[in-house]
Structure formats: C-alpha cells, structure tokens
Amino acid sequence: MLYCCPFGGRPFVIFLCLGALLASVGCGEKRAEVSGKVTVDGKPLNSKLITILFAPDKDNPIKKIPSAAVDANGNYTIMTGGKGGVPLGWYKVIVVILPGDPPPNFDPSCTDVNKTPLSVEVVANPEPGHYDLKLARGKGAKPETPSDRGSPLRKQEREQKPGEE
C-alpha cells in the first residue's frame, strides 16, 4: 500500500531540508583572521621560542586556546585548534617563553595570565594594526644584540662549525 502525504510530499521534504540547513548554519562559530607584529620599544621581537597565546577573557566560552609562533621579524598569525582564525570575543594576551630562552627583554608581567596588561577584542573587520602587540622594555632589562640572544641550544648551533653534525 502506498502512503500519500496530504500536502503532496514535496513541501514536507523541502521543509525538512530547510530546517536542517538552518540548524547547521547556527552550529559554526564566527572567526576572524588574526595576524600582527610583536615589538619591544618599536623593534621586532624575534625569537623562534616565543609563542603568543590568546586566553579567553570577559566570559569568552571558547574551549581551544588560540596560539601562534613569532617569526624572526616579529610577525605572527594565530590558529585555533589547528584551524585558521580566532573565534570573535575578548582575550588576554600572554607571551610564552619556552625553557632555555633567555629572560625577556620586555615587561615580564606579559608572561603571566593573571598579570598581563595585554588584552584584545577579536572582531570581524579589524582596522590595520589592530592585533599588533607593542611591548614595553622591562625594568632592568637592557637591549640585547641579536647575537647575544638565544638559548643554550642556539649558542651551541652558532659555535658549531659548518659541516659538523
């Protein structure tokens, strides 16, 4: 026996498809690309062992912490959970120094999630430079030339003669 829908079948199927489509659109979080430059007193922060973290702030409900490595020119592009972009909202910015790197030449409060003065709102259409991080030189920190910076591993790499492994 063949069952026939009183509405002809098609409108019901179309209604179900539209409902599923609308439900799936609401599931994705809105993200924005976040790229910027980190500077200390106007000069690029250049260390391969520096990572920038965006910790959720002001009731931001995200589960994965956005992060990025800083390149030799102080540039970074944040990723969240291996995907490009950052969910919209407020974040505390933490500068993470990995073990073996020298003490920071910038305000060390930037390395503590509870003390960092840096915060940023990730928005859909930021103005140029919105995500640039301008760090102040820390008290007692003296300027270092690039050859003076580095972890013990970097020092070892500099001292190693070409061709040695």
Host domain of residue 56: 31-140
The CATH number of residue 112's host domain is: 2.60.40.1120
The predicted model scores a pTM of 0.66
Q: Please say if the pLDDT value at position 39 is more than 80.
A: yes
20 within a domain of the structure (yes/no): no
Closest to 85 measured CA to CA, from 118, 45, 54, 49 = 54
Total of domains in the chain: 1
pLDDT, mean over the chain: 75
Confidence band for 138, pLDDT divided at 50, 70 and 90? confident
CA distance 139 to 108: 9
Closest to 66 measured CA to CA, from 118, 151, 56, 57 = 56
The pLDDT of residue 95 = 92
The pLDDT of residue 140 = 57
132 within a domain of the structure (yes/no): yes
115 within a domain of the structure (yes/no): yes
24 within a domain of the structure (yes/no): no
